[in-house]
Each structure stands twice: as structure tokens, then as C-alpha cells.
């Protein structure tokens, strides 16, 4: 069993195209996408079209909630831009997504943590260009009661794989379309595979046409996104 794990596309269709092209060269049995699908200034409608055409299990992230209801605290300009770009069918698709899910009886999907789509899990949230690591106890506390061999999460945009002391695997594949810290502008995704010794993780970084994505953001009125798109460093 091999599962492609995508998250945080954030409306970046050039990055999503590169990931899907890379994925076409690898055999997988299923695909999941962990939310924050469209929010962002690149190409929300194009990203939605591509995701809707995929045979995959998808859940909603905090930005998907905000795109659907711009009056919620936290909703911002990227959410508003996405909302303006989406057609009725794309809004309906987004509205039909739920916040958590199961793939079979071994893999649990969430966006932030199992109980909250705004809480960062495997990394504490970044300030400018840095992050800090939570303790083992903090990580484990969020997994209490989740009877899955594999727990998939996104939200922080930072790829990481770890194993709890009880053997459960937690994987954040990073972000397909919005790189914020640590200087890796490539499109990130992951593959988890059940092998003889247990579940194995592969974290993948795919180069893509960042100039096109930066140009799209600028054209759409978000020139301040250029640096993060081009270089993978957020900040002043
Ligand atoms: Fe996100």
C-alpha cells in the first residue's frame, strides 16, 4: 500500500502540476490532500480544477473554512482573492470537505492536529524565518485517542516524519504550493508505504517554475509574495 500525501497547495497550480507530474512516475495506490487547497494569490481556480479531477481523499484546512466564510477571524487577503476566483461548483466542492478523515482503518488525516485545524503540531509556528520544536510530550498529547498506525497532518508547511514511542507514525509532507521557511522553494509532498517492517515515509521536494508562480502572485496584486515563492524564505 503506497499513499501519496499532499497538503497546503494554496492555489499554486504550477507547483501542483510539478508534483502531479513527479507522481505520475511513481506507483501509488491512493492520494490524499490535507487542506488549504486554494487560498493564495497564484491560481486558486486552476488548483481547484486540478484537485477536483483527482481521485483522492481530501479534507479541509483552516484556510478552506476562511475562503468559505470571509467573516471568520483569521480570514485574510489570500482567502478573499481565492473566493473571488472560484466558481459555484468549486465553492460547492470546498464546502463538501470535512476537517478530518480516515483512509482505510490505518491512516488518519487532519490538517493541524486531530482536534484543531489551526494548531501547529510537529513544529511550533514560525516567527519570521525560524521555528522551534515542541517536546515529545507535547507532540504525543495531540495524538491521544487516535487509534491509527499513521497520522497525517499539514498546516505548518514544514516536512517532517516522526514516530511516537508507541510506534505510531506521524507525517507532515510539507506544502505543495507555499514555502515559508528554511530556504526550500521546491514543491513538497510525501509518500507513505506499508512495508514488511512497518510504515515507511518518503519526503519529496520537486523543483518547479517558481518564476511563473511569482509572476502570477504579482499580476494578481500580491508582489510581496515574490521572495517567499522564489527562495522559500519568508520574512522582511
Ligand atoms: Fe496552509
pLDDT 10s digits, 51-69? 999 999 999 999 999 999 9
User: What spacing in Å lies between the alpha carbon of 135 and ligand 1's midpoint?
Assistant: 22
Residue 128: predicted pLDDT: 67
User: What spacing in Å lies between the alpha carbon of 197 and ligand 1's midpoint?
Assistant: 32
Residue 96: predicted pLDDT: 98
Is pLDDT at 190 greater than 60 in this prediction? yes
> What average pLDDT does this structure show over 137-158?
97
User: What spacing in Å lies between the alpha carbon of 155 and ligand 1's midpoint?
Assistant: 5
DSSP 3-state assignment of 74?
A: coil
Query: 151: which strand partners?
Result: 108, 170
What's the pLDDT tens digit per position in 116-141?
Answer: 999 999 998 777 677 889 999 999 99
Residue 182: predicted pLDDT: 78
Q: In which band, very low, low, confident or very high, does the pLDDT at 21 lie, cut at 50, 70 and 90?
A: very high
Does this model's pTM top 0.95? Answer: yes
Is pLDDT at 88 greater than 80 in this prediction? yes
CB atoms under 10 Å from CB of 91, counted, come to 15
User: What spacing in Å lies between the alpha carbon of 82 and ligand 1's midpoint?
Assistant: 13
**Non-local CB neighbours of 13 within 8 Å, separated by 6+ positions:** 42, 43, 46, 47, 50
User: What spacing in Å lies between the alpha carbon of 123 and ligand 1's midpoint?
Assistant: 13
Cell of 189: 509532498
User: What spacing in Å lies between the alpha carbon of 26 and ligand 1's midpoint?
Assistant: 25
Is pLDDT at 35 greater than 80 in this prediction? yes
**Non-local CB neighbours of 168 within 8 Å, separated by 6+ positions:** 143, 146, 148, 149, 150, 151
Is pLDDT at 236 greater than 60 in this prediction? no
Amino acid at each position: 500500500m503506497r499513499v501519496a500525501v499532499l497538503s497546503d497547495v494554496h492555489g499554486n497550480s504550477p507547483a501542483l502540476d510539478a508534483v502531479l507530474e513527479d507522481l505520475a512516475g511513481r506507483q501509488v495506490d491512493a492520494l490524499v490532500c490535507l487542506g488549504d487547497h486554494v487560498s493564495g494569490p497564484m491560481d486558486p481556480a486552476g488548483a481547484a480544477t486540478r484537485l477536483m479531477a483527482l481521485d483522492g481523499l481530501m479534507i479541509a484546512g483552516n484556510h478552506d473554512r476562511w475562503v468559505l466564510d470571509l467573516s471568520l477571524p483569521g480570514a485574510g487577503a489570500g482567502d478573499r482573492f481565492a473566493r473571488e476566483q472560484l466558481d459555484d461548483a468549486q465553492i460547492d466542492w470546498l464546502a463538501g470537505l470535512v476537517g478530518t478523515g480516515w483512509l482505510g482503518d490505518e491512516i488518519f488525516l487532519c490538517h493541524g492536529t486531530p482536534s484543531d485545524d489551526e494548531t501547529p503540531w510537529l513544529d511550533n509556528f514560525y516567527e519570521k524565518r525560524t521555528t522551534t520544536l515542541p517536546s515529545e510530550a507535547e507532540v504525543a498529547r495531540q495524538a491521544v485517542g487516535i487509534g491509527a498506525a499513521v497520522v497525517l497532518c499539514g498546516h505548518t508547511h514544514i516536512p517532517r516524519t516522526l514516530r511516537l514511542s508507541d510506534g505510531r507514525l506521524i507525517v507532515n509532507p510539507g506544502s505543495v504550493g507555499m514555502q515559508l521557511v528554511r530556504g526550500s522553494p521546491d514543491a513538497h509532498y510525501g509518500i507513505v508505504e506499508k512495508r514488511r517492517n512497518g510504515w515507511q515515509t518518503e519526503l519529496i521536494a520537486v523543483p518547479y517554475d517558481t518564476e511563473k508562480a511569482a509572476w502570477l502572485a504579482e499580476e494578481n496584486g500580491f508582489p510581496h509574495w515574490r521572495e517567499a515563492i522564489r527562495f522559500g524564505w519568508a520574512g522582511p
